[in-house]
Amino acid sequence: MAKRSVLGLFTEDQVDEAGDAMEALASAGYTTNEYEVLTGTPYPEGTFGEAEPKHKLFRWPLTGAACGFIVGLLLTAGSQLAFPLVTGGKPILSIPPMAIIMYEGTMLGAIVFTIIGIILESRLPRIFMGAYDKRISDGYIGVTVTTEEDRIPRAEEVLKQAGAGDITRGWESN
Amino acid sequence: MQDHVQLSQTKINDDLLAGVLGMPKWWLPTVVFLVLVIFTGLGAYGYELNKGLGVSGLNRPVFWGFYITNFVFWIGISHAGIMISAILRLTQAEWRRPVTRAAEVMTIFALMAALSNIMFHVGRPWRLFWVYPYDFSRGIFMNIRSPFVWDPSAVMTYLIGSSLFVYVALIPDIAVVRDKATGRFAPKIYGVLCLGWRGTPRQWRLQAIAGILLSALVLPVFVSVHSIVSWDFAVAIGVEGWHSTIFAPYFIIGAIHSGVSAVAMIMALAVWLWKLDKYLRPDHFDAIGRLLIVVALTWFFFFFVEWIFALYTLEGPELALREFQVFQAPNKWLFLAFLLTAFFIPVPMWMFKRVRRSPMLMFLSTILVNVGMWLERFLIIIPGLARRQPLSFDWGTYNPSIIEILIVLETFAFVALGMLLFAKFFPIIPIFDMKEGMEVREEIKIGRRVVPASIRETP
C-alpha cells in the first residue's frame, strides 16, 4: 500500500506546541518511525521530546582506515616488488617512504568512508520528499507523519488539535 | 563574544543569500577582469609549453624558481583554511561560526592553485600521470622512495578530504537555497545537490558529529601535507639551507601564519563586498588578531631556531649561504622586506585592540604577512640553489621572466575567481551555523549587569 505523509506547520514561537504534537501522535498510536520533526536550524537534542537517534557512524572511519591502509600497503609493496629497482643502496621495501603513502591511504580511506557513512546514516539521498514546506527554512517547525493512507486523517486531526497552522499532504514511496 | 546582533531566521536567509539569489554590481566586472588575468596567464603557459622551459628564468644551477615558491606559498595558504576551521570546531569556539566556510573553501582553491604550479614547473606535464601506478603494460611503476611521489599522494588526500568536508557541511545550506531559489532549474539542481535534506533531528545530529569527526580526521592530514612538502627540500643532502630536520614543523607553522592571515583578509573582504558586517563583528577580527599574535610568535621562534641550528654548526658552506641570503644584494633587500612584512610591522600592530577590531587595518596587516611569507619561501629556495660553490660547473643567478610572472599572477586570479564563483552559487557564511548561534544565545542577568551567554551541548 502506498504511504502518504502529512505535515503540520508550527511557527518559530510554537516550539512547545510542536513538542505537544509529537507527544499526542505517540498517544494516538503512531510509532516513532512514523512521525518526526523538521526544522531549518539545529535545536538542542530532545527539544521536541524526540528520542536520541541511534547510529553506527563511528564504524565507518575505522573500516575506511583499514581499507586505505591495505590499499596503501599493496600499492607501495606491490609496485616495488613488481619493479625491484635498487635506489641508493636502500632495501627494495624501504619502510619510511612506504609509511608515508600508507599513512595518506589510511587517512583518505577514513575520510571517504566517514563521508559515505554520514550521508547514509542521515538517510540520504532521499528521492521522495513527502510532505514538506519551504517555510521550514524560514524558521517554521514541521511535524510530519508518514503512514498508510487510511491513518492520515487521524494524524491531521492530532496535528490540528496541537495547534498546527497549515497542514499539507505529500506522497511517499511504496 | 560580547558584540552581537540578534537576527531572525528569515533575516539571516535574506542577508546570507543576497549574493546567491542576486548579483552585486561589482561581481560581473570583477569576474571578467579575473578571467582576463587567468587567460593571460594560460596564454603565457601555452607559450612555455610550445617553446619549452627555456622561456622561463630557470637555468643552471637555479632550477626551482617562482613556480615552486608559489607552490609552497599556496600549500601554506591552504593549510590554515582547514586548520582554523577544524581547531575552532573541535574546541567549540563560538566565533568560528561565520568564519569556517570561507576558510574551508579557500583551502580547496589554494590547493588547486598549488597543484597547477607543479604542472607549470615540469618540462613535460603530459607525463605527470607517471607519479601514479599506471604504466602496468611496460612494468614501470612510480618510485615511492621519491618525495615527488609522496607529495601528490598527500596533496590529493588533502584536496579530496577537504572538498568532501566542505560539501557535507554545505548540505543543509544547499537545502535553504533550494527552498529559496526561483526559476525552473535552480530549485531542481539545488534539490539534487542537497540529496533531499529535510532537517530531521537525526540529520542535524549527524551533521554536528560530522563537523567534529571530520575535523579530527583532516587535522592529521593537514600536518602531514606540509611536512611532506618540506621534505621535498629537507631530504636533498646537497643544498645547504634545505637539509634541516626542523623543516617540517617550521613549514607547518609558517603555513598557519600565512593561512590565518589570509582568512582575516577574506573576512575583511566579506564585510566590504557582501556587506556582512552584522555577522563578522569587530569581536571576530579581535579574536583572529589574538590568534595571529600567538601564531606569529611561534613562527618567529621556529625561524630563530632554524637559524641557530644553521649557524651553530660553524660549517663553511652553511655560513656562506646565510651570508649570501642576508648580506648580498638583491637578497639582502628581500630579506629585510621579508622580516618587516612577515613579523616586525604586523605583530606590533596587532598588539593594539583598535587595530585588531578594524577590518581595514587587519586587511592591510595580513596582506603584509602574505607578502612576507611569499618572500620567505623565495629566500629559502633560490639562494640555496644560486650560492656559488667551488666545484659547481655554473655560477648563475635567477631572474624571473615575464612568462613566470604572468603565470604566478594567474594563480592569484584563479583563487580569487574560485572564491567569487563559489560565493555566487553557495552561501559563503554557514547559514545553519549562524541560525544555531542565534538560537542558543541568551542574555543573563548577573547582579546589575545583563551579559550575553551561549548555551552549548557537546555533540
Domain coordinates of chain A in residue numbers?
Answer: 3-44+128-171, 59-121
Question: Left (φ > 0), alpha (ψ -120 to 50) or beta: where does B60 sit?
Answer: beta
Residue of A nearest to B455 (CA): A44
The 3-state DSSP class for residue B390 equals coil
- Closest chain B residue to the Cα of A123, Cα to Cα: B203
Q: Do A138 and A40 touch, CB atoms closer than 8 A?
A: yes
Give the position of cell 546570507.
B16
Chain B residues touching residue A108 (CB < 8 angstroms): 156-157, 160-161
Mean pLDDT to the nearest integer, A55-82: 92
Better pLDDT: B349 or B330: B349
Provide the percentage of residues in chain B whose pLDDT is more than 70: 95
pLDDT of residue A1: 64
Look at B389 and B145; give whichever has higher pLDDT.
B145
Distance from CA of B401 to the nearest CA of A (A): 36
Position with higher pLDDT, B456 vs A87: A87
Q: Is the pLDDT of residue B401 over 70?
A: yes
> What pLDDT band is residue B133 in, cutting at 50, 70 and 90?
low
Q: How far is it, in rounded angstroms, from Cα B285 to Cα B358? A: 7
**What would the mean pLDDT of A89-108 be, rounded to a whole number?**
91
Q: Which residue of B has its CA nearest to A77?
A: B144
Q: pLDDT-based confidence at B185, cuts 50/70/90? A: very high
What's chain B's Rg over C-alpha atoms?
A: 23
CB spacing of B157 vs A134 below 8 angstroms: no
**Percentage above 90 pLDDT, chain B:** 64
- Given an 8 Å threshold on Cβ–Cβ distance, is B144 in contact with A79? yes
Mean pLDDT of A94-101: 91
In this predicted structure, the answer to whether residue B168 has a pLDDT above a threshold of 90 is yes
> Which pLDDT does position A174 carry in this prediction?
44
Tell me the average pLDDT across B326-339.
94
Instruction: Suggest the residue from A122, A132, A133 to mutate for an interface test with chain B (most B CBs closer than 10 A).
Output: A122
Judge whether residue B81 has pLDDT over 80. Answer: no
Q: Taking residues A141-161, report their average pLDDT.
A: 92
Residues of A in contact with B455 (CB under 8 A): 44
Residue B53 DSSP label: G
Alpha helices in B52-128 (DSSP H): 66-90, 100-121
Q: Nearest residue on chain A to B13, judged by CA atoms?
A: A138
Mean pLDDT of A128-134: 87
Are A42 and B221 inside 8 Å of each other by CB? no
Of A44, A83, A107, the CB nearest to B157: A107
* Residue contacts between A and B (CB atoms, under 8 Å): 182
Residue B139 is nearest to which of A83, A123, A126, comparing CB atoms? A83
Confidence of residue B139 (pLDDT cuts 50, 70, 90): low
Query: What's chain B's length in residues?
Result: 459
- Chain A partners within 8 Å of B202 (Cβ): 36, 53, 55, 121-123
The whole-number average pLDDT for the span A59-68 is 96
Name the residue of chain A whose CA is nearest to B204's CA.
A42
Report the pLDDT value the prediction gives residue B194, as an integer from 0 to 100: 95
**Range 54-83 of A in CB contact (< 8 A) with B:** 55, 57-58, 61, 75-76, 79-80, 82-83
Identify the pLDDT of residue B374.
96
Find the range with the poorest average confidence among A113-117, B146-150, B287-291, B406-410. B146-150
Query: What pLDDT was estimated at residue B204?
Result: 94
Q: Do B206 and A40 touch (CB under 8 A)?
A: no
pLDDT at A50 over 70: yes
Nearest CA in chain A to B216: A111
CB A33 within 8 A of CB A65: no
A113 touches B: beta carbon within 8 Å: no
Query: For residue B448, what are the CA distances in angstroms to B179, B442, B451, B452, B453?
Result: 44, 16, 10, 13, 16
Give residue-wise pLDDT tens across range B344-398: 999 999 999 999 999 999 999 999 999 999 999 999 999 988 887 777 677 778 8
- pLDDT tens string A7-49: 999 998 899 999 999 999 999 999 988 999 999 999 888 889 8
Q: For B415-452, write each residue's pLDDT tens digit.
A: 999 999 999 999 999 999 888 888 777 777 888 887 77
Q: Average pLDDT for residues B235-247, to the nearest whole number?
A: 85
Say whether B218 and A111 touch across the interface (CB within 8 A): yes
Higher pLDDT, B50 or B129: B50
Query: Do B144 and A101 lie within an 8 Å CB cutoff?
Result: yes
Return the exposure string of B385-404: e unless at least 16 CB atoms fall within 10 Å of the residue's CB, then b. Answer: bbbebeeeeeeebbebbebb
Is the CB of B202 less than 8 angstroms away from the CB of A127? Answer: no
Domains and CATH numbers, chain B: 9-454 (1.20.1630.10)
Q: How many CA atoms lie within 13 A of B419 on its CB side?
A: 29
- Taking contacts as CB-CB distances below 8 angstroms, the residues of chain B near A42 are 204, 207-208, 432, 436, 439
In which residue are the cell numbers 495547534 written? A163
Task: Answer whether A125 sits within 8 Å of B195, measured CB to CB.
Answer: yes
Which range, of B14-18, B37-41, B128-132, B241-245, averages the lowest pLDDT? Answer: B128-132
B55-75 pLDDT, tens per residue? 999 988 888 999 999 999 999
Name the strands in the sheet holding A141-148, side by side, starting at the edge strand that comes first in the sequence: A35-38, A141-148, A3-10, A167-171
Judge: A41–B220 Cβ closer than 8 Å, yes or no. no
Chain A hits for B164, CB-CB cut-off 8 Å, are: 111-112, 115
What pLDDT, on a 0 to 100 scale, did the predictor assign at position B1?
A: 54
Scored b (16 or more CB within 10 A) or e, B3-18 reads ebeebebeebbebbbe
Q: Which residues of B touch A123 (CB under 8 A)?
A: 200, 202-203
Contact residues on chain A for B146, CB-CB shorter than 8 A: 97
Q: Which chain B residue has the Cα nearest residue A95?
A: B145
pLDDT score at B135: 60
Give the angle B36-B41-B47 at the CA atoms, nearest 5°.
125
How distant is the Cα of B162 from the closest Cα of chain A, in angstroms?
9
Q: Does domain A3-44+128-171 have CATH number 3.30.1280.10?
A: no
pTM assigned to the model: 0.92
pLDDT above 60 for B286: yes
Q: Please, are residues A40 and A140 in contact by the beta-carbon 8 Å criterion?
A: yes
Is it the case that residue A156 has pLDDT exceeding 70? yes
